A and B are shown apart, each in its own frame.
Chain A
Amino acid sequence: MPGFRAALPAALLLLLLSSFPPAAAEQPPWPWTPGAMHALNPSDRHASRAAWTALHYSNYHEASPSTLRALRQVLKATVKIIPGLGVKYYLQFTTEGYINGENAGSCLATVLYLKKSPPEVYIKCAHTQDKKQIQEEDNKFYHYLHHQTKPIIANNIPDSHGNIDRAHLPLWGLAIAGSSYIMLEKSTENLGYFMAQVKAVKQRIRKDSAVEFEFIVLLHETPTQKIELCHMHLIWTLSPPLRVKYICTSDNHWLEDGSGQDYGSAAGLFHEKEGNF
Chain B
Amino acid sequence: MLGFLTARQAGVDDPLRLRRAESTRRVLSLKLNPDRDVDRVHGNGINTIDIDAVEGRYMLSGGADGVIVIYDLENYSRKQQYSCKAVCTVGRSSRYVHKFSVETVQWYPYDTGMFVSSSFDKTMKVWDSETLKPAEVFEFEGNVYSHHLSPIARKHSLIAVGTKDPKIQLCDLKSGSRIHVLQGHRSEILSVRWSPRYDHILATASADSKVKVWDVRQASGSLFTLDQHNGDKSKASSEAVNTAHNGRVNGLCFTGDGLYLLTTGTDDRMRLWNSATGENTLVNYGKVCNESRKRLQFTVSRGCSPEFVFVPCGSSVAVYALHTGELVTTLRGHYNNVDCCEFHPDYQELYSGGKDCNILAWVPVPRASDVEEESKSANQAAADQSSVNPAFQDAWSSDED
- Determine if chain A interacts with chain B: no
Residue positions of A touching B, CB distance < 8 A: none
